[in-house]
Structure 1
């Protein structure tokens, strides 16, 4: 990085965060498309919302286009197919419980023969628009709740009374997709995690005829699920523990750590521990999305001086140069220097400045790279598809989840634990 950029970026960073953000108006000529897989559990969840979404779309976006793909893409983060399957089934169970969706308490993947029958039903039905969406939801229920008798009856009717239909709003292909997603204006929105972001976008562009009401039990940023003083004291007495496995070059690590430290840790008396990971190349990110997330979480963020592999090594040395009881504050300060103040932590003067701010007399003599590799091994053993990885311990139970999209689970789990505690008492 040039000397001029090192001097200008901190100033540029302050200006960037304070300036008002404007979203481009996305084109609507391609309409709104939902991509599904019959054996994808996230598709099963989202089809339970499609009829309601279609009902409030303006005519220009109707009919809602349905694309049903055949194959699953390669799982993320070096997960095996079995690990990905187990993760999605458990994750969907948590999502369904939180938001009141239909879901089997002991879910299992639909059989191959059932999937083939379901595809024939959906290909052959003459139903269109909202009637097709209701059929689509019913078929998914039959698949995922093993109602194979009902499915067989529909299959016999569809295969004997109808031929394959050709409707422009309904497509079946051989594409490999990992999980269901929406496509609008050239952008992709994860079908479940980005549903609220998508509906906010549609509302902003006046493409909805009514207020979108989805994910009723969604926990908003900076709003607490537990507010009663007595209940809060009981949770605090349990002294929950939370481990964070973070990639230092990942801006989400900063947004998540800052939010948890400022908003959740002291409030619930959560004992935080941080495990930095070796460089994973997470600095290639959707920067406008990160800025919007920072606005929603009210955490300052600027996409300058993104930490390089060398910078993450220097950051880890600073982190492991302090005592355990100072590690959380130290990591907060280091990431704030990079992601808010535009410090280039591959540049020795900037590193020295941060070291002095943290009152670190000398760097650790530990083998920092070995520590990072050990953290990598422990993180990999959690079998999570994304970073950061969070491990919550409370009342003898361990809960593992990942990413900024699952931070709400901290409060949701604490609420459930408290309810069980009162029941047992």
Structure 2
């Protein structure tokens, strides 16, 4: 039996990956941090054959420790279930002689400063970008480069829309800079985050992600997903639809830009989640790429819409096997997150209307809980997931159901 090491199984995609590996006949081992392992659900632990507790705050030592574990245990492949640990997974696969991506460019798949340099070197279509380490230098560099507002200000190494601000004028830069530098450490793994700030031109247009499996340098684009966000200064993600409702030319533009980005970042064997904006003129600009499965249950959306298990394909690639990427259905699936319109106390929430289209729904909060306004993805109230025959139909159903859910915050 082949053995697979999952680098952190407690994320949104963790159980999907574990289940896919087990269905494929692989034995699953998990590397995690002691503090997080204490929060693992018993049924999740029961699905694993082994657990190695690792201090990810020291990445080089973590790679060395896990390489020893791979050798001692006979691990056949390495996969990643937590965005912040994708560089560890890539470097570990290389150290253990297992399928993976280019370890020299692993950090550029997480760090937006390094990513922007790789994009520039390889001519990837992306927003104009500058990197600063202080507010004063930001003002000087913006003037020097002739950047026009609005601008996007974001931390170099965070995730989930945390610390991201769309700044409409220069007087908003100070607050945006404070927000971008407000979380210098990832919790619970205690990974120190680079505190430089990335400033980019704001790209008008619709937002998408391209979900890709890469095997021996060949790209298998499983789906293009449309992303929906809040408006205003902060942009929490409030929904996804797979596949996106696109004409062929626009889809080709998005997929082509994704491939350029994956080449620039050294993808060879693995999974990729590329976030891209499409301008009104049909130009694709890559915002960022992750060397990890998509979050927000997009793995489930892809499976419901296409019949392809992206999780299983990722497992197969990690084990050095040709991935199964041909689907058996043509439908659409969507997820919508309920976001608070203000900070306060939850007075009423739900229920989700009964509908045969609803696949699942979950509330993260209950009556009496305190909530913040929709600052980032961590402020969501819950979600509903649904399916229909086409993207247009599932989008209409999603709007109808979300509008019917009663949420009162006082």
Task: Compute the TM-score of the two structures, normalised by the length of structure 1.
Answer: 0.23
Larger radius of gyration: 1
Structure (1/2) with the larger helix percentage:
1
Structure (1/2) with the larger strand percentage:
2
Task: Compute the TM-score of the two structures, normalised by the length of structure 2.
Answer: 0.23
